[in-house]
Amino acid sequence: MTTGFAPSSLAATRLNGLDIFAQFTQHIQRQADTDKQAFAVASQCMTWFYKQQRHKPAPPAVQNIAWSRQTTSPWIVADSSEQDGSDCRMRYPGGIDAVRTDFQRTQAFLSLSLTFYEFALVGDGDDNSTYSARELHDMLTALNLASEPSLGTDAHLRSLTSSFDSLHEARGMEALMTGMGKLYDQGYRVTTADKAHLNRVME
Q: Mean pLDDT over residues 150-164, rounded?
A: 95
Among candidate residues 123, 131, 135, the one with its CA nearest the CA of residue 180: 123
Q: How many Å apart are CA 29 and CA 45, to the nearest integer?
A: 24
pLDDT at 68: 44
Of 45-59, 150-164, 185-199, the one with minimum mean pLDDT is: 45-59
At 182 the pLDDT is 98
Instruction: Identify which of 78, 17, 21, 31 has the alpha carbon closest to the alpha carbon of residue 51.
Output: 78
Confidence tier at 1 by pLDDT (50, 70, 90) = very low
State whether residue 61 is helix, strand or coil.
coil
Question: pLDDT per residue over 38-54, tens digit each?
Answer: 999 999 999 999 988 87
Q: For position 65, what pLDDT does the model report? A: 61
> What is the predicted pLDDT for the residue at 52?
87
Better-scored residue on pLDDT, 16 or 166: 166
Could you tell me how far CA 57 lies from the centroid of its own chain? 27
Is the pLDDT score of 9 beyond 70? no
- Is pLDDT above 60 for 56? no
pLDDT, tens digit (0-9, with 9 covering 90-100), for 90-106: 999 999 999 999 999 99
If we measure between CA atoms, which residue out of 121, 139, 42, 175 comes closest to residue 50? 42
Residue 28 CB-density burial (10 A; 0-12 exposed, 13-18 middle, 19+ buried): buried
Query: What distance in Å separates the CA atoms of residue 56 and residue 45, rounded to the nearest whole number?
Result: 14
97 Cβ partners below 8 Å, 6+ apart? none
